[in-house]
């Protein structure tokens, strides 16, 4: 079955207002245009302020969509379907994108599809890497989620493990705040860590030992204890200006080691030729390099460029194109949900925890 050809996608789940046009080739999307407007206002507050995010989306969604169409050289009439992030995310922010997409779908009489934000992150690498396809082990690491997935087919997601407390990106952001760096913290930590001395601060590797045991937490993650360990080291520091880069290095080495070791073990146990990293933390090139080195000769690592790993509408278009091609559609009842369930997510037999 071949679905609608030109998909206009919208993403407003957090603090990026984004629109994109993709062309659907039998469920595989080709990128025609992508506009991402980042809301700088939150930098003043050191984190996303939900009401400000919604208001900023409301102001900019129209121009952002117009610009995505213009960049693709298209008028509204050339669009065949709409895909929009329906969750998870900030509900007021999601509402703006969903209402805008519904209005367009109604006035242009087009099919509409609500897309899960994390499924979007899984599809990001397909836009740049023609070889990338299931089966793969997928590490989703963002500001709100940390999940390790077995993906035997698109649409079939088996949860191997997830975080028990903070998400990986959240840990980068909180540690950045402790070190007096700005928001978002990930890029600042990575840059500073590159100049830091390895091993001077030897922080715990949370839940790494569990990997070698046969318990329910083999592939689980935890970052809040690591954050507390950094807090103590900051409190004990007599010269933070001297120690800052070494602390960033110590934290990043600890966090990345757990992510790399668990992902590599999952790839080996599943016997897959590919690992994928997606979500905002996948912008961390040190993570991609360490996983690539670890899996050398065993599996390759698919990771999108930074523009497609941070929140963007192109990945929503890519996941949407695949689902629209299968005949998936949302009706008027489509509404955003902060806790939208991941479609097709089941427990892996390698995982014995409860779904959160
Ligand atoms: O996927 P994303 O753009 O938004 C969510 O869906 O949460 O992820 C944002 C997260 C932030 O926590 C940010 O600090 C982190 O991704 N991040 C990074 C890097 N770039 C962004 N974390 C580590 N290293 C980076 N280079
Ligand atoms: Zn995201």
Q: What is the pLDDT of residue 92?
A: 96
Confidence of residue 40 (pLDDT cuts 50, 70, 90): confident
d(CA 148, ligand 2 centre) in Å: 15
d(CA 276, CA 128): 13
- Over the stretch 219-236, which tens digit does the pLDDT of each residue have? 999 999 999 999 999 999
Taking the centre of ligand 2 as the mean of its atom positions, its distance from the CA of residue 160, in whole angstroms, is 19
Q: Whose CA is nearest to atom 19 of ligand 1?
A: 186
Give whole-number Cα distances, 233 to 161, 202, 246, in Å.
29, 10, 11
- pLDDT for 96-140, tens place per residue? 999 999 999 999 999 999 999 999 999 999 999 999 999 999 999
User: Between the CA of residue 170 and those of 149, 186, 310, what are the distances in Å?
Assistant: 20, 9, 14
What local confidence, expressed as pLDDT, does residue 341 receive? 97
Whole-angstrom CA distances from 313 to 78, 177, 181, 230 are 18, 28, 28, 35
310 CA from centroid of ligand 1 (Å): 7
Edge-first strand order for the sheet with 81-87 is 28-38, 16-25, 6-11, 81-87, 112-116
Q: Where are the beta strands (DSSP E) in 39-118?
A: 81-87, 112-116
Q: Residue 4: its pLDDT value, please?
A: 85
pLDDT given for residue 296 in this prediction: 98
Instruction: Indicate the pLDDT class of residue 351, thresholds 50, 70 and 90.
Output: low
Residue range 237-244: mean pLDDT, rounded? 98
Atom of ligand 1 nearest to the CA of 169: 12
- pLDDT at site 250: 98
What ranges make up the beta strands (E) of 193-340?
Answer: 274-278, 300-303
pLDDT in tens, 52-108: 999 999 999 999 999 999 999 999 999 999 999 999 999 999 999 999 999 999 999
Q: Is the pLDDT of residue 354 over 80?
A: no
Index of the ligand 1 atom closest to the CA of residue 311? 3
For the segment 16-23, the average pLDDT, to the nearest whole number, is 97
Residue 21: beta bridge partners?
A: 8, 33
- Residue nearest ligand 1's atom 1 by CA: 280
pLDDT tops 80 at residue 339: yes
Band (pLDDT 50/70/90 cuts) for residue 183 is confident
Neighbours of ion ligand 2 (CB under 5 A): 142, 311
The residue among 225 and 351 whose pLDDT is bigger is 225
**Residue 76 CA to ligand 1 centre (angstroms):** 32
Assign 178 to helix, strand or coil.
helix
Helix, strand, or coil (residue 215): coil
Return mean pLDDT, the chain.
Answer: 95
Nearest-CA residue for atom 8 of ligand 1: 280
Banded pLDDT at 33 (limits 50, 70, 90): very high
Tell me how crowded residue 244 is: count the other CB atoms within 10 A of its CB: 19
Residues 297-333 pLDDT 10s: 999 999 999 999 999 999 999 999 999 999 999 999 9
Ligand 2 midpoint to CA 155 (Å) = 18
φ, ψ of residue 293 to 5 degrees: the values are: -65, -45
Report how far ligand 2's centroid is from the alpha carbon of 308 (Å): 10
Q: Which of 146, 253, 281, 316 to mutate to test the pocket of ligand 1 (most atoms within 8 A of CB)?
A: 281
Cα of 304 from ligand 2 centre, angstroms: 13
pLDDT at residue 355, rounded to an integer: 46
pLDDT tens digits, one per residue of 148-174: 999 999 999 999 999 999 999 999 999
Alpha-carbon span 294 to 256, nearest angstrom: 12
Ligand 1 pocket (Cβ < 6 Å) reads 14, 142-144, 169-170, 172-173, 184-187, 190, 279-281, 283-284, 310-311
Ligand 1 nearest atom to the CA of residue 183, by list position:
14
């Amino acid at each position: 079955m071949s679905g609608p050809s030109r998909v206009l996608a919208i993403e407003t789940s957090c603090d990026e207002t984004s629109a994109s046009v993709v062309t659907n080739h039998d469920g595989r999307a080709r990128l025609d245009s992508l506009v991402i407007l980042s809301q700088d206002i939150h930098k003043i507050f050191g984190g996303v302020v939900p009401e400000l995010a919604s208001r900023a989306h409301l102001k900019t969604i129209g121009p952002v969509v117009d610009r995505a169409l213009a960049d693709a050289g298209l008028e509204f009439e050339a669009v065949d379907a709409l895909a929009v992030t329906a969750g998870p995310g900030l509900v007021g922010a999601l509402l703006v994108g969903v209402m805008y997409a519904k209005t367009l779908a109604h006035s242009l009489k087009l099919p509409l599809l609500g897309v899960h934000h994390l499924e979007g992150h899984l599809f990001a690498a397909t836009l740049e890497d023609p070889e990338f396809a299931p089966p793969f082990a997928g590490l989703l690491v963002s500001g709100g989620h940390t999940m390790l997935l077995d993906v035997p087919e698109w649409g079939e997601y088996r949860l191997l493990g997830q975080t028990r407390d903070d998400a990986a990106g959240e840990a980068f952001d909180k540690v950045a705040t402790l070190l007096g760096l700005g928001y978002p913290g990930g890029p600042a930590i990575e840059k500073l860590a590159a100049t830091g001395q390895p091993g001077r601060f030897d922080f715990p590797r949370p839940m790494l030992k569990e990997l070698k045991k046969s318990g329910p937490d083999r592939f689980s993650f935890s970052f809040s204890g690591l954050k507390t360990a950094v807090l103590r080291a900051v409190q004990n520091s007599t010269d933070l200006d001297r120690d800052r880069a070494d602390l960033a290095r110590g934290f990043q080495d600890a966090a990345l080691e757990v992510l790399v070791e668990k992902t590599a073990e999952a790839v080996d146990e599943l016997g897959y030729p590919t690992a994928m990293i997606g979500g905002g933390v996948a912008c961390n090139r040190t993570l991609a390099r360490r996983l690539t080195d670890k899996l050398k000769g065993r599996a390759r690592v698919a990771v999108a460029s930074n523009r497609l790993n941070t929140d963007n509408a192109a990945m929503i278009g890519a996941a949407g194109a695949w689902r629209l091609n299968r005949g998936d559609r949302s009706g008027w009842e489509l509404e955003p949900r902060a806790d939208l369930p991941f479609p097709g997510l089941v427990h892996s037999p390698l995982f014995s925890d409860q779904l959160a």
